[in-house]
Amino acid sequence: MFSSPKSSGPLSPDTANQDAYSVSPAVATVYAKLAACQEVQAGLASLAADEKAAIRDQIAIAEIPAPPFQEHARAEYYRQRLQELGLENVTTDSEGNVFGVYRGSSASGSGPRLFISAHLDTVFPAGTDTSVKEKDGRLYAPGIADDARGLAAILSVIRALKAAKIKTAGDIIFGGSVGEEGLGDLRGVKAFFRDNKDIDGFITVDGTGINLITYLATGSLRYKITYKGPGGHSFNAFGLPSAIHALGRAIAKIADIKPPSQPKTTFTVGTASGGTSVNSIAAQASMLIDMRSNCNAELRKLEKTVLALVDAAAAEENARWGSQAITAEIKLVGDRPAGQQAPDAPIVQAAWASTLAVGAKPELSPASSTDANLPISLGIPALRLGGGGAEGNNHSLDEWYDPAGSYLGPQKIFLTALGLVGIDGLTSPLLPVLAK
């Protein structure tokens, strides 16, 4: 069914030279044993045979609306599915995450605990038509790939573990998280890792594809800035400071910032609004600012610069009119930490070996922003892996999913998980148990 990867000496972690990447002898040995294991082969065969069932799950999940902060209906459906599949301790936590445990056999819970989840929420507001349509072999619906695919892939992996009767050494927690998109601000994984201190590794199944391995996290800070002033008639009250003029000063100043190219650091004023009419001095004006970096230190440096310019713009508008009336209200609305881990970390090597094992060419992808940001920032090994198939037009009403060869995604997740938590009596876990 698959061939085990070869070890060829030291790893070359430079992502610009990935042709030189190789797994360690220990990882190669684990995957050689997995390749020869009858139960693992049965699990892989089960995943291939399960492809149509996984697509049916994906359609059913996509058609349950899950607007930002309103994931409860989809979460309840997913909770029931996890329960039906026989996971232990199926739970909906206080934030709305749902998860259950595939129990390992390690004595006294001494093995590693791996959390595998996909996000329940979509970017689409309430009232969006989420019915799935098929055309020329593709499925079309808002959220059909991001992340209905990830949720369906996880159900397929659980079925394969059950069908093959695989006894893992460590525990695998499977679930769905809330609040991954937009202003959800990773509230689901933030709550999960706040309340569960015994997790040794994490995989988020987000989107599609099987080649990419995302192991670096792009951090982001998002602010809502609101300028307030007295307002008045454009002619009769002329001479009063304007909230919109203060906003304009701030945007111009922010636009001139020159962030470093390495580590990649970016900013944008995403929206701007305010005022009441063309002949009014604006009493209020707001903007949303997005700042991102692959380095927390650079992100905080950019934050300090931007907020200083926000205050400077208010001071300049006041000085222009000899006033102190304009004030700046600063509200943090998003905080996703950046994070890094070594490209030769065991979790990355396991994913690399698993990608090769299913016949794909692994790639270490650039940093991105996913649920994996939070655990990576905490020093917990974490990855984003795709759920298989192909996608396009994400976050649009024309989002599509191509299911060709989609079973390869669950197969890769299945093999990565088994390498990390180990199989009782066959392989030791590659994922280390973290000191708590």
pLDDT in tens, 358-392: 999 999 999 999 999 999 999 999 999 999 999 99
Task: Give the per-residue pLDDT at 121.
Answer: 98
The tens digit of pLDDT for each residue in 133-155 reads: 999 999 999 999 999 999 999 99
> Mean pLDDT across the stretch 170-196?
97
Band of pLDDT at residue 182, cut at 50, 70 and 90: confident
Task: Show the domains of the chain with their CATH numbers.
Answer: 15-217+339-421 (3.40.630.10), 219-336 (3.30.70.360)
Band of pLDDT at residue 435, cut at 50, 70 and 90: confident
Band of pLDDT at residue 22, cut at 50, 70 and 90: very high
> Mean pLDDT across the stretch 220-239?
97
Q: Which residue in 36, 12, 1 sits closest to 352, CA to CA?
A: 12
Task: From residue 123, give the alpha-carbon distance in Å to each of 159, 249, 395, 431.
Answer: 29, 31, 6, 33
Question: What DSSP string describes 288-343?
Answer: EEEEEESSHHHHHHHHHHHHHHHHHHHHHHHHHHT----EEEEEEEEEE--B---T
Task: Give the per-residue pLDDT at 29.
Answer: 97
The average confidence (pLDDT) of the chain is 95
pLDDT of residue 107 exceeding 80, the answer is no
Task: Give the per-residue pLDDT at 248.
Answer: 98
pLDDT of residue 2 exceeding 70, the answer is no
pLDDT of residue 24 exceeding 60, the answer is yes
Task: Give the per-residue pLDDT at 9.
Answer: 42
pLDDT of residue 14 exceeding 70, the answer is no
Task: Give the per-residue pLDDT at 13.
Answer: 41
Spatial contact of 323 and 257, defined as CB atoms under 8 Å apart: no
- What is the rounded CA–CA span in Å between residue 259 and residue 281? 34
pLDDT of residue 51 exceeding 70, the answer is yes
Spatial contact of 227 and 284, defined as CB atoms under 8 Å apart: yes
> Mean pLDDT across the stretch 154-177?
98
Spatial contact of 424 and 169, defined as CB atoms under 8 Å apart: yes
- What is the rounded CA–CA span in Å between residue 250 and residue 315? 10
Q: Where are the alpha helices (DSSP H) in 107-186?
A: 148-164
107 or 21: which leads in pLDDT: 21
Q: Which residue in 147, 150, 141 sits closest to 184, CA to CA?
A: 147
Tokens of 368: 């991105």
pLDDT of residue 355 exceeding 50, the answer is yes
Query: Phi and psi for 160 in degrees, rounded to 5?
Result: -65, -40
Band of pLDDT at residue 17, cut at 50, 70 and 90: low
Task: Give the per-residue pLDDT at 8.
Answer: 45
Sign of the Cα torsion 81, 84, 88, 92 reads positive
> Mean pLDDT across the stretch 235-251?
98
1 or 244: which leads in pLDDT: 244
pLDDT of residue 108 exceeding 70, the answer is no
Task: Give the per-residue pLDDT at 6.
Answer: 54
Question: Could you give the strand order of the β-sheet that contains 98-102, starting from the edge strand earlier in sequence?
Answer: 88-92, 98-102, 171-177, 113-119, 201-205, 382-385
pLDDT of residue 430 exceeding 50, the answer is yes
pLDDT of residue 62 exceeding 60, the answer is yes
Give percent of the chain with pLDDT exceeding 90. Answer: 93
Band of pLDDT at residue 10, cut at 50, 70 and 90: very low
Tokens of 75: 């979460």
The tens digit of pLDDT for each residue in 68-90 reads: 999 999 999 999 999 999 999 99
Least confident piece of the model among 103-107, 110-114, 262-266, 294-298: 103-107
Band of pLDDT at residue 4, cut at 50, 70 and 90: low
> Mean pLDDT across the stretch 251-280?
97
